[in-house]
Chains A and B, each alone.
Chain A
Amino acid sequence: MSATTPDWTERIDAYPTHRIAGFDVRAGRPLPFGATRVPGGVNFSVYSNNATEMTLVLFQRGEPKPFAELTFPGAFRTGGAYAMTVLGLDADSIEYGYRADGPWQPEAGHRFDRDRILSDPYAAVISGGERWGEPRGGDLYRHRAALSYQDFDWAGDRQLDLPLRDLVIYELHVRGFTRHPSSGVAAPGTFAGLVEKIPYLKRLGVNCVELMPVFQFDENDTHGRQAPEGVRLYNYWGYSTVAFFAPHAAYAATSEYGMQVDEFKNLVKQLHRNGIEIILDVVFNHTAEGDERGPTISFRGLDNRTYYMLTPEGYYYNFSGTGNTLDCNQPVVRGFVLDCLRYWVSEFHVDGFRFDLASILDRASDGTPLPNPPLIEALAADPILRDTKLIAEAWDAGGLYQVGSFPNYCRWSEWNGKYRDTVRRFLKGDIGTTGELATRLLGSPDLYGERGPTASVNFVTAHDGFTMHDLVSYNEKHNDANGEDGNDGESHNRSWNCGHEGPTDDPEVLALRGRQVRNALLLLLCAHGVPMLLAGDEAGRTQHGNNNSYCLDEPSWFDWSLTETNADLLTFTRRVIAFRRSHPVLRRQLHATGRSPDGVLPEVSWHGTRAWTPDWSAHSRLIAMMFADHGDCVYLAVNAHWEGHEIELPQLPDERRWHLFADTWAACAAREPGQEPVLDEQDWAFLGPRSVMVLVARATDGIGQREEWRT
């Protein structure tokens, strides 16, 4: 193009129509909401159905005071959406916020205050909290909205779309996983640090990580709790969202460059390259604004009555146990949640979500549970989320418990709290649990008959509660460090210390604990459903009996030296995961029945000390099950009795023989899958006290058996 020819390709929307506060501006586009780079400047769009005036406030990055305030002219408002394109702005060096004017009438639900600068609910980046634990921004405006880039080089990456039945989920805290000096990573406690540990995850064999909250939160927000001497409290877990579209800045090593979005995307890309999916734990039941005494960050000031469930007097309903409750079935909020999840799926390529206290999402504005909650239905039917895994924590702090009855549209899975409770009770020796254990190991057909076992996310431990090590080391919670006089946290843990509360060098107690941990891992990874491990349990991570470490930083970190101290447990866990992955009979799509698809063995059969004779009586502490389908056959026997028992093994109907994969009573608790030794005695076995045995049926030469069997 020569210099004299006008460039007709220049966009006309890059020309200003107004000048406000020294800036060239024009009416913006209401969609998409948030701040978007456009030719020549930045488009700002924010909505409020009850505000009377809106002002854009601009800061130079890190400066305490704004350099410009631009009130939206009437012509820039469409309904309740205010949109303005500001030209000539350097998108990289600004932070922005809003002032919303409107009535202060708490009894009517309105809490407008134009003296406050509000963060954008759609902010892609929050600056001012780059370093963990450091105070945020200035007094005037703490959680500062900023822009991101959307030009990450994905190099063809997309969601892995692994079948749910094949998933082994590993729940971790981004900071806690690599912050400990023993992690040996270059960027401890960050997304980049987690990338460095991908080889470990791969070797362990998990194929899905579930990250505890990574949306921007304020780790310094402790609701004014008094810490015991020598302890600093944090909002460590992060279940209190400040900005739903922004990756937590303090989890990114590169957030000082404003590149947390890129660092997070790189994490997803590298996980996917290694065959590992990523699920985010998302918290839509409440926000970091708390009740009327909490900070005004964004929603309260923009449109309190729209976002929150309010009592008739204008106070906050508290179904979340944290001060406020987002009104998720309010149509505007529903749209916001949907926008947010679509953004994380399309922009960040995440594979799924786990919804914290999801039962709140079922409630109407006045708190009543809805039979057909519109948000849940919308998420289940959304095209962008079609292949996204949706997992509900199917209860809330307001007493709604929906495990097995969460509205699911044949689309949602659930954290199966009943699986956890049953396995714990059975293993510690509670009587009357054998029948329920059998149901839980089958993928809980009583709860999920319609949906199949993959609706059941099975777990024995999760971030909320004891670690596996502590589950077998403590009868009681020890939460004194949390600053609530030890009253916080679950009191019914169904845990057992194996004879001594806390640390001990008693070899018998230690041996029993080691066995109980391995028993639990076998029941978890051999059961139908989707198993979830808590990070660190494979190496015996302890929180010293604290079952609610939401506020503790360092005591929650994963001490990687445990992977050496407890190398044997790590190897055991790795082998059990590998065993699951090599046996399709453990990863069923549909519930197993007593039918026999191949005419030889039933899909599931039950056994006791005598084969084919399970003891379902209330005093029974021993049960064995055999899964079989198309030539794959696994037998699992569990004995919660303090005495050992001889058990008769089911006879195999062909030339296959029983091989020993795992016996937690034996010196070698699990073998390398594929290298299981044949049992000398094929008719019976000794099942040790409080132990689990897993056998696999195959021809002794081991090769080609399954294929032969199939034909």
Chain B
Amino acid sequence: MSLHTRMVNEDGVVTIRLAGEVDSRSAHRLNELIIEAAAASPSRLVLLTEELTYLSSAGLRCLVFAHQKMGPGVEIVLVGTRPDVAETIRMTGFDRSVIMQDAVDQ
């Protein structure tokens, strides 16, 4: 299954909805979206991951990339991450780059 993405920029918050798989072949597309998002200088980047079926190590690295690209002042929020993926993020220390939430803040 391939990766489907949709990006919305609203009031300085960029939201990227991800569906399908982020693996080593599709990770570069996510990185390109992150570059595009960074160009808009948002205050917050939200990644909606409920429909993500697979996130490989290459996909996890997109989070580091986003953190580096956006700079320390920008919050990166992961929403709806599957428990095993969330655990991997935590154990490799990537959780220090991102905030993980069950649902979008209202």
Would you list 18 pairs from A and B whose C-beta atoms are within 8 A, ordered by A residue?
Answer: A92-B23, A92-B57, A93-B24, A149-B61, A151-B61, A151-B65, A153-B68, A186-B87, A187-B91, A195-B91, A257-B56, A258-B57, A259-B57, A262-B94, A263-B91, A266-B92, A266-B93, A270-B93
Instruction: Evaluate contact between A149 and B24: CB separation under 8 angstroms.
Output: no
Q: Identify whether the interface residues of A are mostly helix, strand, loop, or mixed.
A: loop
Residues of A within 8 A of B (CB): 90-93, 149, 151-153, 155, 186-187, 190, 192, 195, 253-254, 257-259, 262-263, 265-266, 269-270
Most buried by A among B23, B57, B60, B65: B57
Instruction: Evaluate contact between B91 and A266: CB separation under 8 angstroms.
Output: yes
Instruction: Evaluate contact between B23 and A253: CB separation under 8 angstroms.
Output: no
Contact code string B63-98 (vs A, CB < 8 Å = 1, else 0): 011011000000000000000000110111110110
Which residues of A have CB within 8 Å of B68?
153
Report the minimum CB–CB distance from A365 to chain B (whole Å).
Answer: 42
Instruction: Evaluate contact between A153 and B64: CB separation under 8 angstroms.
Output: yes
Q: Identify whether the interface residues of B are mostly helix, strand, loop, or mixed.
A: helix
Q: A91-B24, A92-B56, A93-B24 are in contact. Are A254 and B88 (CB under 8 A)?
A: yes
Instruction: Evaluate contact between B25 and A90: CB separation under 8 angstroms.
Output: yes
Contact code string B1-43 (vs A, CB < 8 Å = 1, else 0): 0000000000000000000000111000000000000000000
Kindly state whether residue B58 has any CB partner on chain A within 8 Å: yes
Q: Which residue of A lies closest to B55 (CB)?
A: A257
Report the minimum CB–CB distance from B95 to chain A (whole Å).
Answer: 10
Which residues of A have CB within 8 Å of B23?
92-93
Report the minimum CB–CB distance from B7 to chain A (whole Å).
Answer: 21
Report the minimum CB–CB distance from A263 to chain B (whole Å).
Answer: 5
Q: Which residue of A lies closest to B23 (CB)?
A: A92
How many residues of B are in contact with the other chain, CB < 8 A? Answer: 21
Which residues of A have CB within 8 Å of B94?
153, 262
Instruction: Evaluate contact between B92 and A262: CB separation under 8 angstroms.
Output: yes
Of A192, A195, A257, the residue contacting B57 (CB under 8 A) is A257
Assembly CA distance A270 to B25 (angstroms): 31
Instruction: Evaluate contact between A90 and B92: CB separation under 8 angstroms.
Output: no
Report the minimum CB–CB distance from A450 to chain B (whole Å).
Answer: 42
Which residues of B have CB within 8 Å of A253?
87-88, 91
Instruction: Evaluate contact between B24 and A90: CB separation under 8 angstroms.
Output: yes
Report the minimum CB–CB distance from B71 to chain A (whole Å).
Answer: 13
7 closest cross-chain pairs (CB), A and B: A266-B93, A92-B24, A192-B91, A262-B92, A257-B57, A153-B64, A253-B91
Assembly CA distance A269 to B96 (angstroms): 12
Assembly CA distance A253 to B97 (angstroms): 19
Instruction: Evaluate contact between B93 and A262: CB separation under 8 angstroms.
Output: yes
Which residues of B have CB within 8 Å of A151?
61, 64-65
- 15 more CB-based (< 8 A) A-B contacts, given A92-B23, A93-B23, A192-B92: A153-B68, A186-B87, A187-B87, A192-B90, A192-B91, A195-B93, A253-B88, A254-B88, A254-B91, A257-B57, A263-B91, A263-B92, A263-B93, A265-B93, A270-B93
Of B88, B93, B97, the residue contacting A257 (CB under 8 A) is B88
Q: Which residue of A lies closest to B24 (CB)?
A: A92
Which residues of A have CB within 8 Å of B64?
151-153
Which residues of A have CB within 8 Å of B24?
90-93
Assembly CA distance A262 to B88 (angstroms): 10
Assembly CA distance A621 to B56 (angstroms): 65
Which residues of A have CB within 8 Å of B91?
187, 190, 192, 195, 253-254, 263, 266
